[in-house]
């Protein structure tokens, strides 16, 4: 099985898990497209070594810091040996640089919402700002190996490909079990 956590795009070979049952904030997929209801911080509904690939685009930043390590260990647990974890987060290095160089309150507010979440519902808040140093450290601590930054995953049309002010703002990483 391949699992897209928080995904909205139905794709052959992939199952979708979402924290919302569907349509609550207009950002979640149609409830008929969700295969599993659940929170990335609790993957207990999945057996050890049962998932080939996990995709989480702009999800980890919604996890409270005190739960990040256990969340990543949970992802590691359910992945099969040599399984892939595709993780994308807003890159704070890029967003901070943009914050200081972009002019205008509207543009800065847009950057701020990428940093702290759109805050459109109770789930749309960011608890932490990620960069490669922090993400790699947490992934290694959870047991992941061969951690590589990539420009794009070329899997889904989602926020992992988002550009602000003509620049990609996502930190896209593939980590292997």
Angstrom distance (rounded) from CA 152 to CA 33? 24
Reduced to 3 states (helix: H, G, I; strand: E, B; else coil), residue 150 is strand
CATH class of segment(s) 2-176: alpha beta
Angstrom distance (rounded) from CA 168 to CA 162? 6
Query: What angle is formed at CA 177 by the lines to CA 169 and CA 136, rounded to 5 degrees?
Result: 40
Give the sign of the dihedral formed by CA 162, CA 163, CA 169, CA 172: positive
114-163 pLDDT, tens digit each: 999 989 888 889 999 999 999 999 999 999 999 999 999 999 999 999 99
Angstrom distance (rounded) from CA 109 to CA 111? 5
The encoded tokens of residue 154 equal 């070329």
1-30 pLDDT, tens digit each: 999 999 888 899 999 999 877 654 445 556
The encoded tokens of residue 145 equal 């190996």
Other CB atoms within a 10 A radius of the CB of residue 121 amount to 14
Confidence (pLDDT) at 124: 87
Confidence (pLDDT) at 27: 54
Do the beta carbons of residue 74 and residue 45 sit within 8 Å? no
Angstrom distance (rounded) from CA 161 to CA 101? 22
Mean pLDDT for all residues in the chain: 92
61-115 pLDDT, tens digit each: 999 999 999 999 999 999 999 999 999 999 999 999 999 998 988 899 999 999 9
Confidence (pLDDT) at 158: 93
Is pLDDT of 170 > 80?
yes
Question: Residues 77-100, buried b or exposed e (16+ Cβ, 10 A)?
Answer: bbbeeebbbbbbbbbbebbeebee
């Amino acid at each position: 099985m391949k699992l897209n956590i928080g995904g909205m795009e139905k794709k052959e070979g992939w199952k979708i898990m979402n924290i919302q049952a569907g349509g609550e904030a207009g950002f979640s997929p149609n409830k008929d497209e969700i295969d599993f209801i659940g929170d990335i911080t609790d993957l207990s509904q999945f057996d050890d070594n049962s998932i080939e690939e996990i995709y989480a685009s702009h999800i980890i930043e919604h996890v409270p810091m005190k739960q990040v390590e256990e969340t990543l260990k949970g992802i590691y647990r359910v992945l099969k040996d040599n399984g892939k974890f595709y993780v994308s987060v807003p890159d704070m290095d890029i967003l901070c640089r943009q914050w200081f160089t972009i002019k205008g309150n509207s543009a800065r507010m847009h950057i701020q919402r990428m940093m702290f979440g759109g805050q459109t519902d109770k789930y749309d808040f960011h608890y932490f700002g990620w960069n490669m140093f922090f993400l790699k450290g947490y992934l290694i601590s959870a047991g992941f190996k061969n951690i590589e930054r990539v420009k794009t995953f070329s899997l889904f049309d989602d926020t992992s490909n988002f550009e602000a002010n003509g620049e990609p703002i996502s930190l896209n990483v593939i980590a292997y079990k």
